[in-house]
Amino acid sequence: MSARLPLVVANWKLNGNRDLLAEMLPALTELDASQVETVLCTPFVYLGDEFGDVQKGAQSVASQSSGAFTGEVSAQMLREVGCHYVIIGHSERRAMFGETDNVVAQKVKATLDAGLIPIVCVGETEQERESDATLDVITKQVKSVMDILPSFSDSLVFAYEPVWAIGTGKTATCEQAEEVHYNIRQILMSYNHELAMSTRILYGGSVKPENSKELFSSENIDGGLIGGASLDVESFTAICENAVA
Ligand code: PGA
């Protein structure tokens, strides 16, 4: 890993409860924040709770700032309850909730406008990988966000999550992941070389304590976005510790 501070993000999805939160928070507080940054993305309802020193993240956000959008939560509201990060464009949102590249880009903009940090998820399906379309798909997803930003923000995080590796137990090999991460950084460099070098690019998809150390040792993998393993305190903290260089 490079000089970029490793970042490990828990994505609880539609899981967890206050008991798990009470167990997770003290364990995360014990990690050395100067060595690894951690973020806990719970369902919205828990984000109003006291997280102490642990950083809060949301799993989605409205693209609009206010108005008649029943069920939505704005970036400003997330900021008000102390959120720092927002996961945007997770493949489950793209596949099940109709989030297109354009919607993802609007949400990134709304998040940055509210002073929060978007974690932009990109990734190819199994079929796209098999037909050798991975880099084309990733390029389109990354550019659709970068092209609508007035300028490259230093508060952007990307997460490469191959759709076929999410919740399936299949993980991309280090070589497969590094190839995509390297390419994402190359795309970002075409916008701003210096900021591209400091942008963190996370890997997600069946990351576990056993495979995390090797993945995180790749040059362009700066941490992880963790689903299933983030619901277990021991597994998640072990992954965070493996991210320390
Ligand atoms: P997983 O999920 O770790 O359970 O594969 C990752 C994610 O969806 O962010």
Q: What's the pLDDT tens digit per position in 195-238? A: 999 999 999 999 999 999 999 999 999 999 999 999 999 999 99
C-alpha 9 – ligand 1 centre gap (Å): 10
Mutate to test the pocket of ligand 1, among 161, 203, 231, 232 (most ligand atoms within 8 A of CB): 161
Predicted pLDDT of residue 219: 97
CATH of the domain at 123: 3.20.20.70
Assess if residue 24 is contained within a domain. yes
**Pocket test residue of 90, 206, 231 for ligand 1, highest count of atoms within 8 A of CB:** 206
Q: Which atom in ligand 1 lies closest to the alpha carbon of residue 166?
A: 5
- What integer pLDDT is reported at residue 2 of this predicted model? 54
pLDDT digits (tens, 9 = 90+) for 137-162: 999 999 999 999 988 888 999 999 99
Higher pLDDT among residues 167 and 231, named by residue = 231
Q: How many domains does one find in the chain?
A: 1
The residue-averaged pLDDT of 169-179 equals 93
Question: If you write DSSP's letter for every residue of the chain in order, what string do you get?
Answer: --SSPPEEEEE--S---HHHHHHHHHHHHTS-TTT-EEEEE--GGGGGS--TTSEEEES---SSSSSS-TT---HHHHHHTTEEEEEES-HHHHHHS---HHHHHHHHHHHHHTT-EEEEEE---HHHHHTT-HHHHHHHHHHHHHTTSSS--SS-EEEE--GGGTTTS----HHHHHHHHHHHHHHHHTT-HHHHHH-EEEEESS--HHHHHHHHTSTT--EEEESGGGGSHHHHHHHHHHT--
Output the average pLDDT for the chain: 96
Ligand 1 centroid vs 163 CA: distance in angstroms? 9
List ligand 1's pocket residues with C-beta within 6 A: 11, 161, 166-167, 204-207, 225-229
CA 205 / ligand 1 centre spacing (Å): 5
pTM: 0.97
Does residue 2 lie in a domain region? no
Which range marks the domain in which residue 35 is found?
Answer: 7-242
Please give the pLDDT value at position 154.
Answer: 83
Measured in Å, residue 55 CA sits from the centre of ligand 1 at 19
Tell me if 1 is assigned to some domain. Answer: no
What are the pLDDT digits (tens) for 24-81? 999 999 999 999 999 999 999 999 999 999 999 999 999 999 999 999 999 999 999 9
Indicate which residue's Cα is closest to atom 1 of ligand 1.
Answer: 227
Catalytic residue numbers read 90, 161
36, part of any domain? yes
Question: Is residue 13 domain-resident?
Answer: yes
